[in-house]
Amino acid sequence: MKNYRGSILFLAGFAVALAAGWIAFPKAEYERQNQPVQFSHKVHRDKGGMKCEDCHAIRDDGTFSGIPAVDKCAGCHASPMGATDEEKRMIKRYIEPNREIPWLVYARQPENVRFSHAFHVKLAKLACERCHQAHGDSDALPAFERDRVSGYSRDILGDPALLAASGHHPGMEMDDCIRCHQVRGVQDSCLACHK
């Protein structure tokens, strides 16, 4: 038994490390935060009759409007639309004091990158769902997961399970951008994104 003691300890350490690395680490790597307001794209589309472009439009000059400011929300939500607590809370916290909602943006690019929605949507004719999945069908916003080390968002939508179905996992890292550019045979020089 004495002869095997060292090997057992080695294997025990090996097994613990494997378990920690494959099971615990992925959970610990990201911190999860809920969005400040539980927003339902589905309700706005189905009941509000809104289109994606009403809030997420590419302007005439090519810039992307991104997430609308609270003014846009106040256009309809000046007073509560419905009786949910979430609705009342949003109006009290953000609409009435005219305070911007601190959305946690899944796809916010770092300052050293220039990403143009106009190039990708208008020129390359990529559907929004290609990267963001069918966000417009969602009834709730997934938790925002931030990498504790890099500070990046985990995914540009947030839920890898949804993205697995697409066969491609668009994330926030440069490799994700390059992979897609190479697959599509488009330029991937440094200055294409780092101006």
Partner 1 sequence: MGLGRRDLLKLMGGGAAGLFLTPVPWRLIDGVAIRTENWPGVPDPPRGEVRTRYTTCTLCPAACGVRARSVVDQPVSLAGVAAHPTSAGVLCAAGLCGHHLPLLPSRVRQPLARRGDKFQPVPIDTVAAAVAAALEDIRNSGSAERVAVLDARPGRTASLIYRRWLGTAPNGIYLLAPSADSSASLGIDIARTGTVLSFGAPVLDGWGTPGRVLEARRSFRLIQVETRQSRTALLADGWLPIRPGTEAALALGIANVLIAEKLYDAAAARSASDFAEYAALAAEFPPQRAAELTGLPAQTIVAAARDFVGHGTAVAVAGSDPGAGPMGDGERIAIAALNVLAGSIGREGGFLPRGEAPRPPGFEEAALAPEHGIADAPDASIRVLIIDDARAAGAWCWSAIERKLARAHIVVALTGSLDGAARHADFVVPAPAYLEEVEDAPAPPDVPAAMFSLAGALLKPPPEAVDGVDFLNRMAGGGAALADVLKERVAAIHAARRGEVFHYTDGARTAVSDVKSAEDLWKALEEGGCWIDRRPAPKQEGRVTILGAAADRVLEAASGRLPADALYPLALVPYGWRGASGGAVSPIMTKLYQESDVETGGDTVELHPDTAQRYGIADRQVAIVQTRCGSCRRRVRVDDAVMPGVIQAEVGPSASGNCRPEALLDACGVAGDGTWRLARASLRRA
4 binds partner 1 (CB under 8 A): no
Give the footprint of partner 1 on residues 49-78 (CB under 8 A): 61-63
Residue number, 42 or 179, with CB nearest to partner 1: 179
Strand, coil or helix: what is 79?
coil
CA distances from 194 to 109, 111, 112, 113, 191 (A): 11, 9, 6, 5, 5
26 binds partner 1 (CB under 8 A): yes
Single out the segment in contact with partner 1 by CB under 8 A; choices: 44-52, 123-131, 141-149, 176-184. Answer: 141-149
105 binds partner 1 (CB under 8 A): no
From the CB of residue 94, how many other CB atoms can be counted at a distance below 10 Å? 19
Number of residues counted as binding partner 1 (CB under 8 A) = 37
Name which position in 2, 3, 22, 161 contacts partner 1 (CB under 8 A).
Answer: 22
The C-alpha atoms of residue 45 and residue 77 are separated, in whole angstroms, by 15
CB–CB of 35/141 below 8 Å? yes
Closest CA to 58 of 9, 13, 122, 103: 122
CB–CB of 154/146 below 8 Å? yes
**Site mask for partner 1 (CB under 8 A), range 176-195, x = bound:** -------------xxx--xx
Binding site for partner 1 (CB under 8 A): 5-6, 9-18, 20-22, 25-26, 29, 61-63, 110-112, 114, 147-152, 173, 189-191, 194-195
